[in-house]
Amino acid sequence: MIYIAIGGLGFLVINLLGIVSIKRIPGLKPITMLVGNGLLVFVIIMLCLSPDKLMLPIWSTWLGWCLLPISISMLIFSLFINLPLSKTYFTIGVGDKLVTSGLYALVRHPWLHWLILLLVALILASRSSLMLIAASIWICLDIALVAIQDRFFLGKMFADYNDYRRRTPMLIPNRRSLSAFIDSLKQSGTRNPQEG
């Protein structure tokens, strides 16, 4: 159970990024990301290697291995490509522009879906019973942390966040956000490649 608590601490550290950005503390953004993600990677490896295994059919293990690269790729895309990497995670203070296109036109926190899929893939691939318990706790914890960040911090970080909050659902896409997502894909596909 200590690994589950360490993983929870990792999620908490990562979610401190908003406070660190608002307070403009030099050098703390990359440290926050490194420490939080380092804790998570360590405990996930340890939990997946746990000898307590779930009795799952072999096809579910293969499904987990198939979902793993998809979920990792999309998590990386939503956190480090769709968002401007340097301004979000390295530059002091808050980024200069709120991202409302791509996956962020669909929901305000699209990475959370890919994180959940990643945890499910890890449960299936490793068949770890401790990973199942940890994932259940971490998902609930991260949703709570995201709700707190969404309510109390992101509005202070970006002047137009409250308008974005009214237009775009937090986690569950709706017809309007799906249309905005499709429009954003069309706009990015029609841009001249030499423009940006």
Domain harbouring 73, CATH code: 1.20.120
Quick check: is 168 in a domain?
A: yes
pLDDT-derived band of residue 195, with 50, 70 and 90 as boundaries?
Answer: very low
Q: Which of 15-24, 32-41, 48-57, 164-173 has the lowest average pLDDT?
A: 15-24
pLDDT in tens, 127-150: 999 999 999 999 999 999 999 999
Looking at the domain assignment, is residue 194 inside a domain? no
Based on the structure, what is the number of domains in the chain? 1
**For position 189, what pLDDT does the model report?**
67
Give residue-wise pLDDT tens across range 87-118. Answer: 888 888 787 789 999 999 999 999 999 999 99
For the chain, give the percent of residues with pLDDT over 90.
Answer: 73
DSSP 8-state code for residue 78: I
184 located within any domain: yes
Domain range holding 105?
2-189
- Residue 173 tokens read as 């896409």
Q: With bands split at pLDDT 50, 70 and 90, how would you rate the model's confidence at 187?
A: confident
Question: pLDDT category, 18, cuts 50, 70, 90?
Answer: confident
Question: Is 195 inside a domain boundary?
Answer: no
Give a yes or no: residue 196 inside a domain: no
In a domain, 103, yes or no: yes
Q: What's the CA dihedral at 159, 160, 166, 168 to 10 degrees?
A: -120
pLDDT of residue 69: 98
Which residue, 106, 115, 111, 101, is CA-closest to 172? 106
